[in-house]
Amino acid sequence: MSLGATVSPMDASSASHQSVIDVHGDGYERGLAHGEHLRAAVQNSVRSLVEALGGQAEIERFIGETNFLPTIDRLTPDLGQEVRGIAVGSAMPLNLVLAHNLMDEHWWWSTKRNRREACTLFATTSPTPIIGQTMDLPSYMDGSQFILRSHFADGSVSAVLSSAGLIGLCGTNSHGVGICVNALSMLNHSGAGLPVAFVMRGALASATSTRAIEFIRSVPHASGQHYAILGPNDDGEITSTGIECSAWGAVDSSDGASRFSHTNHPLATTDLDPEVETPTSSTYARFDVVTTRGETVETGDDLIAILQDRSGPICVERADTGLWMTFGAIVTEFTNPIRMRYALGPPTQSTWADVELTTMSF
Protein backbone atom coordinates (compact mmCIF):
# COMPACT_ATOMS: atom_id res chain seq x y z
CA MET A 1 0.00 0.00 0.00
CA SER A 2 1.40 3.39 -0.88
CA LEU A 3 2.48 5.97 1.65
CA GLY A 4 0.17 8.94 1.94
CA ALA A 5 -1.64 11.33 4.20
CA THR A 6 -4.70 13.49 3.76
CA VAL A 7 -5.37 16.29 6.20
CA SER A 8 -8.49 18.25 7.11
CA PRO A 9 -8.60 21.79 8.54
CA MET A 10 -8.98 22.07 12.31
CA ASP A 11 -11.72 24.20 13.81
CA ALA A 12 -10.41 27.69 14.45
CA SER A 13 -11.08 27.36 18.17
CA SER A 14 -8.70 24.43 18.41
CA ALA A 15 -5.01 23.92 17.68
CA SER A 16 -3.40 25.43 14.60
CA HIS A 17 -2.49 22.16 12.87
CA GLN A 18 -4.82 19.73 11.11
CA SER A 19 -7.60 18.06 13.11
CA VAL A 20 -7.60 14.76 11.16
CA ILE A 21 -4.69 13.06 9.47
CA ASP A 22 -5.07 9.90 7.38
CA VAL A 23 -2.05 7.60 7.14
CA HIS A 24 -1.58 4.43 5.09
CA GLY A 25 0.83 1.54 4.83
CA ASP A 26 2.92 -0.43 7.30
CA GLY A 27 3.93 0.94 10.66
CA TYR A 28 6.98 2.83 9.49
CA GLU A 29 5.10 4.38 6.54
CA ARG A 30 2.23 5.46 8.77
CA GLY A 31 4.61 6.99 11.29
CA LEU A 32 6.63 8.73 8.58
CA ALA A 33 3.47 10.34 7.16
CA HIS A 34 2.37 11.39 10.65
CA GLY A 35 5.76 12.93 11.39
CA GLU A 36 6.09 14.70 8.03
CA HIS A 37 2.62 16.22 7.94
CA LEU A 38 2.64 17.30 11.59
CA ARG A 39 6.36 18.04 11.81
CA ALA A 40 6.08 21.46 13.45
CA ALA A 41 3.41 20.24 15.87
CA VAL A 42 5.44 17.14 16.79
CA GLN A 43 8.53 19.23 17.36
CA ASN A 44 6.57 21.63 19.57
CA SER A 45 5.06 18.73 21.52
CA VAL A 46 8.40 17.05 22.08
CA ARG A 47 10.10 20.31 23.10
CA SER A 48 7.31 20.98 25.60
CA LEU A 49 7.77 17.45 26.92
CA VAL A 50 11.52 17.91 27.34
CA GLU A 51 10.99 21.15 29.27
CA ALA A 52 8.20 19.71 31.43
CA LEU A 53 10.16 16.57 32.31
CA GLY A 54 13.35 18.34 33.34
CA GLY A 55 15.50 18.34 30.22
CA GLN A 56 16.87 15.88 27.69
CA ALA A 57 19.33 14.31 30.14
CA GLU A 58 16.41 13.36 32.41
CA ILE A 59 14.57 11.77 29.50
CA GLU A 60 17.67 9.82 28.47
CA ARG A 61 17.95 8.57 32.06
CA PHE A 62 14.30 7.49 31.97
CA ILE A 63 14.81 5.56 28.74
CA GLY A 64 18.08 4.08 30.00
CA GLU A 65 16.65 2.90 33.33
CA THR A 66 13.66 1.17 31.73
CA ASN A 67 13.45 -1.47 29.03
CA PHE A 68 10.28 -0.77 27.08
CA LEU A 69 11.47 -0.78 23.47
CA PRO A 70 12.42 -4.50 23.36
CA THR A 71 8.96 -5.37 24.70
CA ILE A 72 7.30 -3.05 22.19
CA ASP A 73 9.28 -4.59 19.31
CA ARG A 74 8.49 -8.13 20.48
CA LEU A 75 4.76 -7.75 21.10
CA THR A 76 3.74 -4.85 18.81
CA PRO A 77 6.54 -4.59 16.21
CA ASP A 78 4.38 -2.62 13.77
CA LEU A 79 3.85 0.06 16.42
CA GLY A 80 7.55 0.13 17.26
CA GLN A 81 8.18 0.93 13.62
CA GLU A 82 5.44 3.55 13.69
CA VAL A 83 7.27 5.42 16.47
CA ARG A 84 10.50 5.21 14.49
CA GLY A 85 8.70 6.62 11.46
CA ILE A 86 7.33 9.52 13.49
CA ALA A 87 10.84 10.33 14.69
CA VAL A 88 12.28 10.33 11.17
CA GLY A 89 9.35 12.22 9.65
CA SER A 90 9.44 14.92 12.31
CA ALA A 91 13.26 15.11 12.41
CA MET A 92 13.31 14.46 16.16
CA PRO A 93 15.47 12.01 18.17
CA LEU A 94 13.90 8.59 18.61
CA ASN A 95 14.31 8.56 22.40
CA LEU A 96 12.41 11.83 22.73
CA VAL A 97 9.54 10.63 20.54
CA LEU A 98 9.52 7.32 22.42
CA ALA A 99 9.35 9.16 25.76
CA HIS A 100 6.42 11.19 24.42
CA ASN A 101 4.62 7.86 23.92
CA LEU A 102 5.39 6.73 27.49
CA MET A 103 3.33 9.20 29.52
CA ASP A 104 1.86 6.77 32.03
CA GLU A 105 5.22 5.10 32.42
CA HIS A 106 7.08 8.33 33.14
CA TRP A 107 4.47 9.26 35.74
CA TRP A 108 5.36 6.33 37.99
CA TRP A 109 9.05 6.34 37.11
CA SER A 110 9.49 10.00 38.09
CA THR A 111 7.67 9.70 41.42
CA LYS A 112 5.72 6.76 42.72
CA ARG A 113 4.07 8.90 45.37
CA ASN A 114 2.24 11.15 42.91
CA ARG A 115 -1.15 9.70 42.04
CA ARG A 116 -2.65 10.87 38.74
CA GLU A 117 -6.23 12.00 38.14
CA ALA A 118 -7.07 11.37 34.52
CA CYS A 119 -10.17 10.44 32.56
CA THR A 120 -13.82 9.47 33.03
CA LEU A 121 -15.43 6.83 30.81
CA PHE A 122 -18.75 5.14 30.15
CA ALA A 123 -19.83 2.21 27.95
CA THR A 124 -23.20 0.65 27.13
CA THR A 125 -24.30 -2.04 24.67
CA SER A 126 -27.93 -0.88 24.40
CA PRO A 127 -30.13 0.51 23.05
CA THR A 128 -27.31 1.76 20.79
CA PRO A 129 -23.78 0.53 21.58
CA ILE A 130 -21.86 3.61 22.79
CA ILE A 131 -18.47 4.15 24.41
CA GLY A 132 -16.79 7.42 25.32
CA GLN A 133 -14.57 9.29 27.69
CA THR A 134 -12.82 12.47 28.66
CA MET A 135 -9.02 12.38 28.34
CA ASP A 136 -7.29 14.48 31.00
CA LEU A 137 -3.61 15.25 30.41
CA PRO A 138 -0.93 17.78 31.39
CA SER A 139 -1.90 21.26 30.24
CA TYR A 140 1.39 21.76 28.38
CA MET A 141 0.00 19.33 25.77
CA ASP A 142 -2.87 21.66 24.87
CA GLY A 143 -2.77 22.64 21.20
CA SER A 144 -1.35 19.30 20.02
CA GLN A 145 -4.74 17.51 19.77
CA PHE A 146 -5.73 15.73 16.56
CA ILE A 147 -7.43 12.58 15.27
CA LEU A 148 -5.14 9.94 13.77
CA ARG A 149 -6.98 7.80 11.20
CA SER A 150 -4.94 4.79 10.12
CA HIS A 151 -5.66 2.66 7.04
CA PHE A 152 -4.38 -0.93 7.06
CA ALA A 153 -3.60 -3.47 4.36
CA ASP A 154 -6.68 -5.59 5.20
CA GLY A 155 -8.96 -2.64 4.46
CA SER A 156 -9.69 -1.83 8.10
CA VAL A 157 -9.40 1.66 9.55
CA SER A 158 -8.89 2.97 13.07
CA ALA A 159 -9.45 6.47 14.43
CA VAL A 160 -7.86 7.57 17.70
CA LEU A 161 -7.68 10.76 19.72
CA SER A 162 -4.01 11.69 19.85
CA SER A 163 -1.37 14.33 20.44
CA ALA A 164 1.13 15.24 17.72
CA GLY A 165 3.81 12.56 17.92
CA LEU A 166 1.72 10.01 19.84
CA ILE A 167 0.46 6.74 18.36
CA GLY A 168 -2.85 7.30 20.14
CA LEU A 169 -4.80 7.59 23.38
CA CYS A 170 -8.23 5.99 22.81
CA GLY A 171 -10.49 5.31 19.85
CA THR A 172 -12.30 2.83 17.63
CA ASN A 173 -11.89 0.76 14.49
CA SER A 174 -14.03 -0.12 11.48
CA HIS A 175 -14.65 -3.63 12.83
CA GLY A 176 -16.79 -1.98 15.51
CA VAL A 177 -14.30 -2.34 18.38
CA GLY A 178 -13.88 0.68 20.65
CA ILE A 179 -11.36 1.09 23.46
CA CYS A 180 -11.27 3.72 26.20
CA VAL A 181 -8.86 3.99 29.13
CA ASN A 182 -8.35 5.29 32.68
CA ALA A 183 -5.08 5.70 34.57
CA LEU A 184 -4.76 3.58 37.74
CA SER A 185 -1.47 4.92 38.98
CA MET A 186 -1.79 3.33 42.42
CA LEU A 187 -1.24 -0.13 40.89
CA ASN A 188 2.10 -1.90 40.62
CA HIS A 189 4.16 -1.33 37.49
CA SER A 190 7.03 -2.85 35.49
CA GLY A 191 9.93 -1.27 33.62
CA ALA A 192 9.86 -4.11 31.12
CA GLY A 193 6.11 -4.36 30.45
CA LEU A 194 4.16 -3.15 27.42
CA PRO A 195 3.36 0.58 27.76
CA VAL A 196 -0.23 1.81 27.80
CA ALA A 197 -0.29 3.42 24.33
CA PHE A 198 0.95 0.19 22.76
CA VAL A 199 -1.52 -1.97 24.67
CA MET A 200 -4.37 0.25 23.48
CA ARG A 201 -3.27 0.33 19.84
CA GLY A 202 -2.35 -3.36 19.86
CA ALA A 203 -5.80 -4.27 21.10
CA LEU A 204 -7.46 -1.86 18.67
CA ALA A 205 -5.95 -3.82 15.78
CA SER A 206 -8.34 -6.66 16.67
CA ALA A 207 -11.32 -7.60 14.50
CA THR A 208 -13.50 -8.56 17.49
CA SER A 209 -13.81 -7.63 21.15
CA THR A 210 -12.89 -11.23 22.00
CA ARG A 211 -9.49 -10.86 20.37
CA ALA A 212 -8.92 -7.39 21.84
CA ILE A 213 -9.60 -8.75 25.32
CA GLU A 214 -7.33 -11.73 24.72
CA PHE A 215 -4.53 -9.39 23.67
CA ILE A 216 -4.91 -7.20 26.76
CA ARG A 217 -4.95 -10.23 29.04
CA SER A 218 -1.95 -11.85 27.37
CA VAL A 219 0.63 -9.06 27.49
CA PRO A 220 2.77 -7.97 30.47
CA HIS A 221 1.70 -4.49 31.58
CA ALA A 222 4.06 -1.62 32.28
CA SER A 223 1.53 0.62 34.05
CA GLY A 224 -1.67 0.45 36.03
CA GLN A 225 -4.54 1.08 33.62
CA HIS A 226 -8.20 0.30 33.07
CA TYR A 227 -9.25 -0.67 29.53
CA ALA A 228 -12.90 -0.61 28.46
CA ILE A 229 -13.59 -2.68 25.33
CA LEU A 230 -16.89 -2.56 23.43
CA GLY A 231 -17.71 -4.39 20.22
CA PRO A 232 -18.79 -7.65 18.60
CA ASN A 233 -17.30 -10.82 20.05
CA ASP A 234 -16.31 -13.81 17.92
CA ASP A 235 -19.98 -14.88 17.80
CA GLY A 236 -21.13 -11.44 16.63
CA GLU A 237 -22.75 -10.49 19.95
CA ILE A 238 -22.07 -6.91 21.12
CA THR A 239 -20.34 -6.99 24.50
CA SER A 240 -18.72 -4.47 26.83
CA THR A 241 -15.89 -5.41 29.18
CA GLY A 242 -13.76 -3.53 31.69
CA ILE A 243 -10.29 -4.86 32.56
CA GLU A 244 -7.97 -3.45 35.24
CA CYS A 245 -4.30 -4.16 34.48
CA SER A 246 -1.09 -3.95 36.47
CA ALA A 247 2.33 -5.60 36.54
CA TRP A 248 0.69 -8.57 38.24
CA GLY A 249 -1.85 -9.12 35.46
CA ALA A 250 -5.40 -8.35 34.32
CA VAL A 251 -8.64 -8.51 36.32
CA ASP A 252 -12.18 -8.08 34.96
CA SER A 253 -13.89 -5.15 36.64
CA SER A 254 -17.26 -4.74 34.92
CA ASP A 255 -18.89 -7.97 36.18
CA GLY A 256 -20.39 -8.61 32.75
CA ALA A 257 -22.58 -5.51 32.99
CA SER A 258 -24.06 -4.22 29.74
CA ARG A 259 -23.32 -0.64 30.86
CA PHE A 260 -20.61 0.53 33.22
CA SER A 261 -18.46 3.50 34.24
CA HIS A 262 -14.89 3.90 35.40
CA THR A 263 -12.66 6.68 36.71
CA ASN A 264 -9.32 6.50 38.56
CA HIS A 265 -9.74 4.04 41.39
CA PRO A 266 -9.71 0.23 41.08
CA LEU A 267 -12.98 -1.65 41.32
CA ALA A 268 -11.57 -5.18 41.26
CA THR A 269 -7.80 -5.53 41.34
CA THR A 270 -5.90 -5.52 44.65
CA ASP A 271 -2.41 -5.20 43.15
CA LEU A 272 -1.68 -1.88 44.88
CA ASP A 273 1.69 -0.16 45.14
CA PRO A 274 2.06 0.59 48.88
CA GLU A 275 4.29 3.61 48.16
CA VAL A 276 1.59 5.53 46.31
CA GLU A 277 -0.24 8.02 48.49
CA THR A 278 -4.03 8.46 48.36
CA PRO A 279 -4.59 12.22 48.32
CA THR A 280 -7.88 14.09 48.15
CA SER A 281 -9.37 12.89 44.89
CA SER A 282 -12.23 13.62 42.50
CA THR A 283 -12.34 10.03 41.23
CA TYR A 284 -15.20 8.90 43.47
CA ALA A 285 -17.30 11.99 42.79
CA ARG A 286 -16.81 11.61 39.03
CA PHE A 287 -17.62 7.91 39.23
CA ASP A 288 -20.87 8.60 41.10
CA VAL A 289 -21.92 11.25 38.55
CA VAL A 290 -21.24 9.17 35.45
CA THR A 291 -22.67 5.97 36.96
CA THR A 292 -25.90 7.62 38.11
CA ARG A 293 -26.48 9.66 34.97
CA GLY A 294 -25.27 6.80 32.78
CA GLU A 295 -28.41 4.82 33.60
CA THR A 296 -30.36 7.11 31.26
CA VAL A 297 -27.88 7.19 28.35
CA GLU A 298 -29.52 6.16 25.08
CA THR A 299 -27.71 8.34 22.53
CA GLY A 300 -24.34 9.88 21.94
CA ASP A 301 -25.81 13.27 22.83
CA ASP A 302 -26.76 11.88 26.25
CA LEU A 303 -23.17 10.84 26.94
CA ILE A 304 -21.76 14.12 25.62
CA ALA A 305 -23.96 15.96 28.12
CA ILE A 306 -22.38 13.95 30.94
CA LEU A 307 -18.80 14.42 29.73
CA GLN A 308 -19.37 18.18 29.56
CA ASP A 309 -20.37 18.26 33.25
CA ARG A 310 -18.06 20.51 35.29
CA SER A 311 -19.71 19.82 38.64
CA GLY A 312 -18.16 16.33 39.05
CA PRO A 313 -15.75 17.72 37.99
CA ILE A 314 -15.73 15.56 34.85
CA CYS A 315 -14.68 18.32 32.45
CA VAL A 316 -11.69 20.42 33.55
CA GLU A 317 -11.66 23.64 31.57
CA ARG A 318 -8.60 25.63 30.58
CA ALA A 319 -9.45 28.37 33.08
CA ASP A 320 -9.57 25.77 35.87
CA THR A 321 -6.14 24.34 35.25
CA GLY A 322 -2.95 24.27 37.13
CA LEU A 323 -1.05 21.38 35.62
CA TRP A 324 -3.96 19.33 34.21
CA MET A 325 -6.91 19.86 31.89
CA THR A 326 -9.37 17.90 29.78
CA PHE A 327 -7.24 17.42 26.67
CA GLY A 328 -10.16 16.10 24.63
CA ALA A 329 -13.08 13.70 24.56
CA ILE A 330 -14.57 11.06 22.28
CA VAL A 331 -18.00 9.44 22.02
CA THR A 332 -18.43 6.57 19.56
CA GLU A 333 -21.85 5.35 18.43
CA PHE A 334 -21.69 1.94 16.79
CA THR A 335 -24.18 2.45 14.01
CA ASN A 336 -23.58 1.94 10.28
CA PRO A 337 -21.40 3.80 9.49
CA ILE A 338 -19.67 4.01 12.86
CA ARG A 339 -19.65 7.58 14.12
CA MET A 340 -16.84 8.74 16.41
CA ARG A 341 -17.55 12.21 17.74
CA TYR A 342 -14.66 14.16 19.20
CA ALA A 343 -13.76 17.41 20.95
CA LEU A 344 -10.17 18.62 20.71
CA GLY A 345 -9.91 20.29 24.10
CA PRO A 346 -12.32 20.59 27.03
CA PRO A 347 -15.70 19.58 25.55
CA THR A 348 -17.39 22.63 27.05
CA GLN A 349 -14.94 24.89 25.21
CA SER A 350 -14.44 23.00 21.94
CA THR A 351 -16.52 22.28 18.85
CA TRP A 352 -17.61 18.64 18.54
CA ALA A 353 -16.90 17.08 15.14
CA ASP A 354 -17.36 13.62 13.59
CA VAL A 355 -15.21 10.94 12.03
CA GLU A 356 -17.13 8.21 10.22
CA LEU A 357 -15.73 4.72 9.60
CA THR A 358 -17.24 2.38 7.04
CA THR A 359 -18.41 -0.64 9.00
CA MET A 360 -16.68 -3.92 8.17
CA SER A 361 -18.17 -6.44 10.59
CA PHE A 362 -20.55 -4.63 12.93
Span 95-130, pLDDT tens digits = 999 999 999 999 888 875 555 667 999 999 999 999
The per-residue pLDDT for 40 is 97
Model confidence band, residue 278 (pLDDT cutoffs 50, 70, 90): low
Decide which of 218 and 281 is more confident: 218
239 and 209 Cβ atoms separated by less than 8 Å: yes
What is the distance between the alpha carbons of residues 39 and 17, in angstroms, rounded to a whole number?
A: 10
Mean pLDDT over residues 226-238, rounded? 96
Domains of the chain: 5-110 (no CATH), 120-143+176-357 (3.60.60.10)
Q: For residue range 308-324, what is the model confidence (pLDDT) as tens digits? A: 988 778 999 997 657 88
Of 30-39, 199-208, 272-281, which gets the smallest average pLDDT? 272-281
Mean pLDDT over residues 242-253, rounded? 97
In order of 94, 161, 166, 268, 271, the CA distances from 81 in angstroms are 11, 20, 13, 35, 32
Model confidence band, residue 90 (pLDDT cutoffs 50, 70, 90): very high
| Cα–Cα–Cα angle for 162, 277, 138, rounded to 5 degrees | 25
Model confidence band, residue 46 (pLDDT cutoffs 50, 70, 90): very high
Mean pLDDT over residues 267-286, rounded? 85
pLDDT of 8 > 70? The answer is no
pLDDT of 60 > 80? The answer is yes
pLDDT of 174 > 90? The answer is yes
pLDDT of 280 > 50? The answer is yes
pLDDT of 258 > 80? The answer is yes
What is the distance between the alpha carbons of residues 63 and 18, in angstroms, rounded to a whole number?
A: 30
The per-residue pLDDT for 323 is 82
The per-residue pLDDT for 279 is 61
Mean pLDDT over residues 129-148, rounded? 96
